[in-house]
Amino acid sequence: GQNIDQPTEMTATEGAIVQINCTYQTSGFNGLFWYQQHAGEAPTFLSYNVLDGLEEKGRFSSFLSRSKGYSYLLLKELQMKDSASYLCAVLDSNYQLIWGAGTKLIIKP
């Protein structure tokens, strides 16, 4: 079966750095997405990785290792507005998004 695992909840301090991990087992792989979702809102796109390595975009970076079935989202200089759920999703061989359950990130002052 297809499976995506990420921690349910994480807590971090404003100004700090946090890494959210995601491991996956899917039928085929056409890329991995990270989305941010604030409560009551639709997901917004953060990053897309299809090749191994680190993609940096401002305060957010995303890493992928296809051989390990592993990705992480790194958030630097945390701000209170970063409190949200972070969803990991894999595009499988049918170009269908398989979603993780999301990681709720709580930022404390």
Pick the closer one to another protein by CB: 45 or 80: 45
* Cβ neighbour number for residue 72 with a 10 Å cutoff: 19
Shortest Å, Cβ 20 to another protein: 14
Q: Which is nearer to another protein, 43 or 69 (CB)?
A: 43
Nearest-angstrom CA–CA distance, 98 and 14: 31
Q: How far apart are the first and last CA of the chain?
A: 40
CA distance 7 to 104: 8
Which token pair is 98?
Answer: 């398989």
Minimal distance, residue 66 CB to another protein, in Å: 15
Q: How far apart are CA 40 and CA 24, in angstroms?
A: 26
Instruction: By CB under 8 A, name the binding residues for another protein.
Output: 30-31, 40-45, 48, 50, 87, 91, 95-97, 99-102
13 or 27: whose CB is closer to another protein?
A: 27
CB of 102 to another protein, least distance (A): 5
